[in-house]
A and B are shown apart, each in its own frame.
Chain A
């Protein structure tokens, strides 16, 4: 599969995750979200940036339960809860946010 963006063709896997992380840019995240009828606000970016940092540190994309836990630790309980994250990313916070973040599918996600 692939994603068309500004005349470029970006290779993706069957679930729309970028094959080459280095092609990612914030504009591509906005574009992916727009295709899902979602406008990324500050709260979305907080999660996306955090996941990218986590990947930078540990070279893995956290599965949803892990994400909920580490986000809670980082942002405080009101922002780490699963309801909060599912409201931001209704297709499943780890999967959807990792895809927008240009990362591979989360580890532990089947």
Chain B
């Protein structure tokens, strides 16, 4: 299977207005199963994806954001949220869901809030960027 590429999925939109974020998550999980080194970034309205307790009752759509909590099971351990995007939306780190790894990898929260400058470094270190 080789070493796998470093692939960053950049999520910029909220959860249910479009299908982008859901598709990106599916592709990210499949990529992880095939040994790619996957990271996820949440910027702009993408930060809304990580609000916990979302309900799709009445939307007739699948509630897909719960699956972000399974990222640790798929060995996806790099999850970045841009601080500036949170700030302009009046959100704080504690408004985001926690994504913890299982007992194998400890129980630390994988969600890391970073500045846009720090995120730029992450972006520059990738082999592939997938931007919605």
Question: Is B3's CB within 8 Å of the partner chain A?
Answer: no
* Chain A residues with CB under 8 A of B69: 57-58
Report yes or no: B63 in contact with A59, Cβ–Cβ below 8 A: yes
Q: Contact check, B67 vs A59: say whether CB atoms are below 8 A apart.
A: yes
Q: Which of A62, A69, A110 contacts B104 (CB 8 A)?
A: A69
The A-contacting residues of B in range 29-74, CB under 8 angstroms, are 29-30, 32-34, 62-64, 66-67, 69-70, 73-74
A65 lies within 8 A of chain B by Cβ: yes
Question: Which of A60, A65, A73, A110 has a CB less than 8 Å from the CB of B70?
Answer: A60
**A73 to B70 alpha-carbon distance, docked (Å):** 14
Q: How far is the CB of B67 from chain A (nearest CB, A)?
A: 5
- Select from chain A the residue with minimum beta-carbon distance to B104: A73
Q: A35 CB to closest chain B CB, in angstroms?
A: 28
Interface residues of B in 1-48 (CB under 8 A from A): 26, 29-30, 32-34
Q: Which residues on B sit within 8 Å (CB–CB) of A49?
A: none
Which residue of chain B is the closest to A64 with respect to CB atoms? B33
Given contacts A62-B73, A70-B102, A108-B33, 12 further A-B contacts (CB under 8 A): A59-B62, A59-B67, A62-B70, A63-B29, A63-B33, A66-B73, A66-B74, A73-B102, A107-B30, A108-B29, A108-B34, A108-B74
**Residues in A lying within 8 Å of B, measured CB to CB:** 57-60, 62-63, 65-66, 69-70, 73, 107-108, 110
